A and B are shown apart, each in its own frame.
Chain A
């Protein structure tokens, strides 16, 4: 039985809305090889459509008007999935945020990433958005970035001329900018699973959980014999890119994991950030709140050790 299709309406339906997608040519590569060839051919003229939750919004707001949109529809399965490789977790670039949230091993082995994913948008956004999209969009407020930074993540980029692996710390170069060449795509994200005696966590401060972060932070600490052996701290929405807070890390290593240590580390992190006033918050507030925020996120990470 076929559904009855009414003849098209007289009005141009693409102009029926308040936010209208600009015209573009859609390309649907049938294989990874074809995807790379198309990206090599069109470069900056082409945008990759993964989940659409950033790209299509930017296009509707005329922030981006790519001539070509490359759909991942036919290569999605090749670019999706979560697997374990030794002490690393490998996540395909087109893996949905929701699938990361529902994956047992992420919750166990990269809890900071789990914390971040569950506060990203509503369930609809997480059913659409992808981890590669979140990183490629390169927002200073990208929620997956601080957890991935503390889990020593790297990004595998592919192009027709080969592959390269870029540490996430070197990946972002500014708001909306990365080291990616126009012919490259993000293939997968690799992160270190939590080791023994380690815990990680992520928290963000936002108007509502749905909203973008005013400031966010992730921490990973390893404790041995009552002393912090290893510490990684990263902060989002407080600099042109998500950043590692090395002063905070230095203030942690070798100390006992106490609330006082955590608050001192939080204060030290003020040296690592360069926040600005923007629509969501002020530089003043971000500088103040980073100390208690890091205290809280470190406590949360500590509470997860050995769980």
Chain B
């Protein structure tokens, strides 16, 4: 069985027909043209599918699409574009916080949620907040650096 679901995706209203057992990640990737959120483990361990729902970081692989009815979904595409990167995205590029890139959109979205809640996080707070995102390439060092740099720039200190 299925049904229509309406929600806001990156600031624009969408209406899409989904199956009852359809997860948000698949709706985004296969029906709505979103490619940033990734399928990693599928069982809530890796954070590669992280998107923001009403400003909160959640796992789109463990969210039924029907659950976001009426809500605001934000993905990396809505944060910035290749021409106009968001400060966090730019910081990831500038600090080489990317190797294979698979986990990056998840990290960027988690960082976006963090900086909205806590504009001046300490290194420890950053590490704590990104605990649910796995990166198997970088060892996290540059990711943490990038998030701290983005925080500085966003709060006007850089």
Contacts and interface: CB of A to CB of B under 8 A. Distances in A.
Interface of A: 1-6, 8-9, 11, 13-14, 16-19, 21-26, 28, 49, 52-53, 56-57, 60-61, 69, 71, 73, 98, 121-125, 127-128, 208-210
24 contacts: A2-B13, A2-B14, A3-B13, A3-B32, A6-B31, A8-B30, A13-B22, A14-B19, A14-B23, A17-B39, A18-B42, A19-B42, A22-B21, A24-B20, A26-B1, A26-B21, A28-B66, A52-B63, A53-B44, A60-B43, A123-B114, A124-B58, A127-B58, A128-B58
Interface in B52-79: 56-59, 61-64, 66-67, 69
Interface of B: 1, 3, 9, 12-17, 19-23, 26-27, 29-33, 39, 41-44, 47, 50, 56-59, 61-64, 66-67, 69, 110, 113-114, 129-133
Contacts of A23: 19-21
A98 B113 CA distance: 13
A60 B1 CA distance: 18
B31 A13 contact: yes
A17 B26 contact: yes
A239 B67 CA distance: 35
Contact of A16 (B21, B30, B114): B30
B110 A71 contact: no
Contact of B131 (A3, A11, A123): A123
Contacts of B50: 124
Contacts of A56: 23, 62, 64
A13 B26 contact: yes
A128 B43 contact: no
B87 to A, nearest CB: 20
A16 B110 CA distance: 25
A125 B129 CA distance: 11
B44 A14 contact: no
A9 B29 CA distance: 10
A61 B43 contact: yes
A1 B12 contact: yes
B116 to A, nearest CB: 12
A2 B20 contact: no
B39 to A, nearest CB: 6
A94 to B, nearest CB: 12
Given A69-B20, A123-B113, A128 B63 contact: yes
A57 B44 contact: yes
Contacts of A26: 1, 3, 20-21, 64, 66
B33 A6 contact: yes
Contacts of B62: 52-53, 56-57, 128
Nearest to A122: B132
A127 B31 contact: no
A98 B57 CA distance: 11
A125 B44 contact: yes
A123 B12 contact: no
A64 B63 CA distance: 17
